[in-house]
Structure 1
Amino acid sequence: MRQLVRTAPAALPAALRAPLAMTAALATAVVVALGILHFRDASLTGIDAAVLPSLYPVQPPWRYVALVVDFGGEPVGSVILIALLSAVCWLVRLVRTAVVTVLGVAVTVAVTTVLKPVVGRTIHGEFLSYPSGHTALATALALIIALVLTQRLGLGRPAGAALALGLAVVAGLVMGWAEVALGAHYPTDALGGFCAALAAVPATAWVVDRVADRL
């Protein structure tokens, strides 16, 4: 097993190291800035006040679409998605990426879980909302899919970075829309979750590579 992990392709392809490192640094700054801005906040102001009324409440049939998307971030749905993606990584011999699929999502969810009580932002008067764990999870899975595709297709820096950020943005927008439309989060909660994943996944992949190289 040790040999398998040590000789497996890097979880963080060389083409993505610099772009995702810069993105992670910027994303971390955004997470912190939004956390400070909405510290102990329960009001609807700024971007949230401008955007949320146009999305919430969502009516059928789009409400059903939002519920399906939301299920992907629930415990059962997320376990299914993580298991499927991990299995694909194992099948194509991207063992390190399979490890990142589990650890990357775990770290991302841990970050959002810890930040919620620290920031203390609430929605509907009682539910901790910043940052959105569902949006973070969806973005994390999209980034990991991009790592797989970049590795398998041999993409260079421009194409790989465009793919990674493109998939992340699509996943973040779709899940973020669902969470706001269902009244679970403010729009900036979704942005915070999106950025949390952009920061956590590349960092986790880098650590996995460093550990694996030393086995």
Structure 2
Amino acid sequence: MRQLVRMAPPALPAVVRPPLAMTAALATAVLVALGILHFRDSSLTGIDAALLPSIDGVRPPWRYVALVFDFGGEPVGSVILIALLSVVCWLLHRVRTAVLTVLGVVVTVAVTTGLKPLAGRTIHGEFLSYPSGHTAMATALALVIAFLLIERLALGRAAAVSLTLGLALVAGVAMGWAEVALGAHYPTDAVGGFCAALAAVPATAWALDRVADRL
């Protein structure tokens, strides 16, 4: 097993390391800034006030679509998605990426879970909401898929970065919309979850590669 991990392709493709390092730094800054801006504040201001009335409380059939996305972020749904992606990575001999599928999501969700009581932002009077763990989880899985595709398709830097950020944005927007539509989060909670994944997953992948290279 040690040999498999050491000889496997990197979890974080070399072609995207510098750009994602800068993206992670910016995402961290946004994550912290939004947390400070909405510290123990549950009022509707700014972008939340502009977007929430038009998104919150969607009706069928869009509500059913939102529920499907939401299930993907729940414990059972997320375990299924993580397991499926891990198996695909393993079958493709991307052992480090298989490990990152689990570790990246765990670290990302741990970050969002730890930040919620620190930010102290609530929705519906009692539920901690910032940042959105569902949005973070969806974005984290999208990033892992992008890393896998970059290696498989041998993409250059521009294409690789575009694919990575594009997939992350699609996943983040889809899950963020679902959470806001179901009344579980404010729009800025979704932005915070998106940024948490952009910060945590590349850092986790880099650390995993450093440890694996020394085995």
Shorter-chain TM-score: what band? over 0.9
Partner residue, 1:121: 121
1:65 has 2:65 as partner = yes
Tell me the amino acid that sits aligned with residue 22 of structure 1: M
Structure 1 segment 139-158 matched on structure 2, within 5 A: 139-158=139-158
Aligned mates of 1:119, 1:64 — CA distance in 2: 30
Partner residue, 1:10: 10
Aligned mates of 1:143, 1:49 — CA distance in 2: 30
Aligned mates of 2:10, 2:144 — CA distance in 1: 12
Question: Which blocks of at least 5 consecutive residues in structure 2 are unaligned?
Answer: none
Structure 1 segment 1-215 matched on structure 2, within 5 A: 1-215=1-215
Aligned mates of 1:74, 1:116 — CA distance in 2: 17
Deviations 1:142-186 (A, max 9, x none): 000000000111111100000000000000000000000000000
Tell me the amino acid that sits aligned with residue 100 of structure 1: L
Deviations 1:115-154 (A, max 9, x none): 0001000001010000000000000000000000001111
How far is 1:42 from its partner? Answer: 1.1
Aligned mates of 2:24, 2:145 — CA distance in 1: 17
Superposed CA RMSD in Å reads: 0.4
Aligned mates of 1:13, 1:69 — CA distance in 2: 28
Tell me the amino acid that sits aligned with residue 79 of structure 1: V
**SS of equivalent to 2:42:** coil
**SS of equivalent to 1:72:** helix
Aligned mates of 1:56, 1:8 — CA distance in 2: 45
- TM-score when normalising by structure 1: 0.99
Number of residues of Structure 1 aligned to a counterpart in Structure 2: 215
Percentage of pairs with the same residue = 81
- TM-score when normalising by structure 2: 0.99
**SS of equivalent to 1:9:** coil
How far is 1:19 from its partner? Answer: 1.1
Tell me the amino acid that sits aligned with residue 177 of structure 1: W
